[in-house]
Amino acid sequence: MGKLKVLFHLNEPEKWQGTFSSIINFVKDVGQENADIEVVANGAAVSAFSEKCRIAGGSGETSTSCGKATGELYEEMNKLAQMGIRFVACRNALRMHSLDENMLPPFITVVPAGITEIAKKQAEGYAYIKT
């Protein structure tokens, strides 16, 4: 059997934690070597990447507008990225939220349009999961 290919789509900042839990549980279940996982964030989900949120996260505070403090979010994302999980952000969404893509950590790939990425991955056989 080939790897189980899964694309997670989130467009709300509150959904990051649930997405991480889903990924961790999935990887535990099938084994890291059998999972091929990509996470695409568009819409308001990218607002969690703002520096304000990152600072709030760093100081241990949380901000309601961030969904989850970004310092912590980046840490968890970084751990998952080390395991081979790919994180993709939509450039349109970053612009809409006035976010500079050069400020994003290196493990986040920016694509011109999140929807194109999601459509292409499904055409390549990835299962789609909306969190």
Could you tell me the sign of the dihedral formed by the alpha carbons of 90, 91, 96, 98, in that order?
A: positive
Binding to a copy of itself (CB under 8 A) within 64-83 occurs at: none
Which of these segments, 47-55, 62-70, 76-84, 108-116, binds a copy of itself (CB under 8 A)? 108-116
Smallest distance from the beta carbon of 87 to a copy of itself, in angstroms? 17
Q: Which one-letter DSSP state was computed for residue 3?
A: P
Which of these segments, 3-11, 48-56, 63-71, 73-81, binds a copy of itself (CB under 8 A)? 3-11
Provide the 3-class DSSP secondary structure of residue 40: strand
Among 26, 101, 107, 109, binds a copy of itself (CB under 8 A): 26
Residue 117, classified by CB atoms within 10 Å of its CB into exposed (0-12), middle (13-18) or buried (19+), is buried
